[in-house]
């Protein structure tokens, strides 16, 4: 991962690294599907108008055009590459609502593009893995709970190390800000969301300058943001700050976050933290908000984030509320590969390299390989009958663990070139140890 890229911001992987990425994608797909999420793929290109519905991100959009424009090109809609999976998904839901069964559960693993400055962990082209549950008109709160559980289980299945889901509820935050006299809650949420990046003093200053907060209001907003608990005790801390009876909005946020924390601590114990500094800067979030911290890689920021939205997708008077979370797969992968924490046990899927005694044996060697392949064992056949020592060295360089030999009498032997063990065998029944059947993804603290 320390290789110099010929084009900055675009990641190209070596074979072993790509196997690690595929393992991550397959693991996510399996976890999502076992929880009932359907696969979805949307087009790479959207109209600029569609993408700009999310907010002021025009500097991040890659606009596209043909090199040779037609005379009528000026009348066509301006096009751009998608910068996330959420906005295209909202468009997809409104266009296909008549063909979907709600609540609609989907996962989507695709490339996205952003025109931002490349730096460590930031790419112009990268893969995201999203899950969402979308309703028609209404969506039960338990969907917020379920989607958090599913994502926690997906991250556990990836074996990326210890992580924490940092959860909050914007109803709670907004209700509290209103209770202390701050009416521009959208501005306050955006400012508080910067707390970890700029620190409390700068947040307080910006609250006073931008959101019209007094020094006392700014201090109380910071007191709320500093509440962090691993259980439901955050609710008492909030009530202690409010003093009087909480407003209906604040109480609804407290109830929802309490339920979320309770169920998460039951289903995925030790993974959730109620963190009332989490706000998510985008205005369309309306309730649950989640960010995920990977311990030991705090510099990455949130590796998985999202939340509840009531009207990201709409069609006339028909509204499609939803809740969703997204993992920045490429960002996470590059960090773990660079640190050496995650690696593939070998660089090729091939289990067996079938050698040639003579050039005329190539057809017979293919028969051996096909018998192995028919039982799901990846096999590769030598292209020329070099000395066995050279064929073994080639297999070793490729990372292939087993080498197959056939003598002039048709007897078969297989050699584990890692241990040197060689035994007589039969291509119709031989199988490698289970751990050798496919490349294994290991952490540096684990044995291959």
Q: Is residue 264 one of the residues assigned to a domain?
A: no
Q: Which domain holds residue 385?
A: 352-443
Asked if 106 and 93 count as a contact pair (C-beta separation under 8 A), the reply is no
Q: Is residue 65 one of the residues assigned to a domain?
A: no
Q: Was 447 annotated as part of a binding site?
A: no
Q: Was 280 annotated as part of a binding site?
A: yes
Q: Is residue 265 one of the residues assigned to a domain?
A: no
Three state DSSP letters for 296-323 = CCHHHCEEEEEEEEEEEEEECCEEEEEE
Distance CA 77, CA 96 (A): 21
Q: At what angle do helices 170-179 and 248-267 cross, to 10 degrees?
A: 150
Task: Tell me the two tokens of residue 369.
Answer: 């390989």
Region for residue 121 given its phi and psi (left: phi exceeds 0; alpha: psi -120 to 50; beta: otherwise): left
Q: Is residue 438 one of the residues assigned to a domain?
A: yes
Asked if 340 and 446 count as a contact pair (C-beta separation under 8 A), the reply is no
pTM, 2 dp: 0.90
Q: Was 185 annotated as part of a binding site?
A: no
Q: Is residue 366 one of the residues assigned to a domain?
A: yes
Buried b (16+ CB within 10 A) or exposed e, 11-39: bebeebbebbbebbeebbbebbeebebee
Total domains, the chain: 1
Distance CA 338, CA 344 (A): 13
Sign of the C-alpha dihedral, residues 267, 270, 271, 275?
positive
Q: Was 47 annotated as part of a binding site?
A: no
Q: Is residue 318 one of the residues assigned to a domain?
A: no
Domain with 386 in it: what CATH number?
Answer: 3.40.50.800
156 to each of 18, 159, 164, 269, how far by Cα in Å?
A: 20, 5, 11, 12
Q: Is residue 379 one of the residues assigned to a domain?
A: yes
Using DSSP's 3-state secondary structure scheme, residue 38 falls into strand
Q: Was 128 annotated as part of a binding site?
A: yes
Q: Was 394 annotated as part of a binding site?
A: no
Q: Is residue 373 one of the residues assigned to a domain?
A: yes
Can you give the pLDDT of all 448 residues of the chain as single tens digits?
Answer: 556 777 888 999 999 999 999 999 999 999 999 999 999 999 999 999 888 875 555 568 899 988 877 665 556 679 999 999 999 999 999 999 999 999 999 999 999 999 888 777 789 999 999 999 999 999 999 999 999 999 999 999 999 999 999 999 999 999 999 999 999 998 999 899 888 889 999 999 999 999 999 999 999 999 999 999 999 999 999 999 997 788 999 999 999 999 999 999 999 999 999 999 998 866 788 999 999 999 999 989 899 999 999 987 888 899 999 999 999 999 999 999 999 999 999 999 999 999 999 999 999 999 999 999 999 999 999 999 999 999 999 999 999 999 999 999 999 999 999 999 999 999 999 999 999 999 998 887 654 4
Span between the terminal Cα atoms of the chain, in Å: 20
Q: Was 75 annotated as part of a binding site?
A: no
Q: What share of the chain is helix, strand, coil (3-state, %, to 5)?
A: 40, 25, 35
């Amino acid at each position: 991962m320390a290789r110099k890229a010929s084009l900055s911001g675009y990641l190209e992987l070596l074979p072993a690294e790509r196997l690690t990425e595929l393992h991550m994608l397959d693991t996510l797909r399996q976890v999502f599907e076992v929880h009932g999420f359907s696969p979805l793929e949307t087009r790479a290109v959207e109209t600029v108008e569609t993408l700009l519905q999310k907010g002021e991100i025009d500097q991040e959009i890659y606009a596209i055009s043909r090199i040779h424009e037609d005379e009528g090109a000026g009348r066509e809609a301006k096009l751009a590459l998608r910068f996330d999976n959420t906005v295209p998904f909202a468009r997809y839901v409104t266009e296909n609502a008549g063909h979907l069964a709600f609540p609609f559960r989907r996962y989507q693993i695709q490339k996205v593009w952003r025109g931002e400055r490349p730096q460590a962990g930031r790419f112009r082209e990268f893969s995201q893995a999203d899950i969402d549950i979308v309703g028609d008109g209404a969506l039960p709160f338990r969907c917020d709970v379920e989607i958090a559980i599913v994502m926690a289980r997906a991250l556990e299945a990836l074996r990326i190390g210890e992580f924490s889901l940092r959860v909050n509820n914007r109803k709670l935050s907004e209700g509290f800000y209103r209770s202390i006299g701050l009416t521009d809650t959208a501005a306050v949420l955006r400012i508080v969301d910067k707390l970890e990046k700029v620190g409390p003093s700068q947040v307080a200053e910006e609250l006073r300058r931008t959101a019209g907060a007094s020094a006392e209001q700014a201090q109380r907003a910071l007191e709320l943001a500093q509440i962090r608990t691993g259980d439901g005790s955050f609710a008492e801390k909030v009530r202690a700050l409010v003093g009087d009876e909480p407003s209906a909005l604040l109480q609804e946020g407290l109830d929802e976050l309490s339920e979320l924390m309770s169920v998460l601590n039951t289903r995925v114990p030790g993974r959730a933290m109620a963190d009332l500094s989490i706000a998510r800067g985008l205005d369309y979030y309306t309730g649950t908000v989640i960010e995920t911290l990977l311990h030991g890689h705090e510099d990455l920021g949130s590796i998985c984030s999202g939340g509840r939205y009531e009207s990201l997708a709409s069609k006339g008077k028909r509204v499609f509320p939803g809740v969703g979370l997204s993992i920045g797969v490429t960002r996470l992968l590059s960090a773990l590969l660079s640190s050496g924490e995650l690696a593939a046990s070998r660089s090729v899927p091939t289990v067996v390299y079938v050698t040639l005694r003579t050039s005329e044996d190539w057809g017979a060697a293919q028969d051996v390989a096909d018998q192995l392949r028919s039982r799901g064992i990846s096999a590769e056949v030598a292209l020329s009958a070099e000395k066995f020592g050279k064929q073994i060295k080639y297999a070793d360089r490729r990372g292939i663990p087993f080498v197959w030999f056939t003598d002039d009498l048709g007897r078969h032997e297989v050699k584990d070139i890692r241990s040197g063990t060689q035994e007589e065998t039969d291509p119709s029944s031989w199988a490698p140890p289970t751990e050798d059947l496919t490349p294994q993804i290991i952490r540096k603290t684990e044995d291959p």
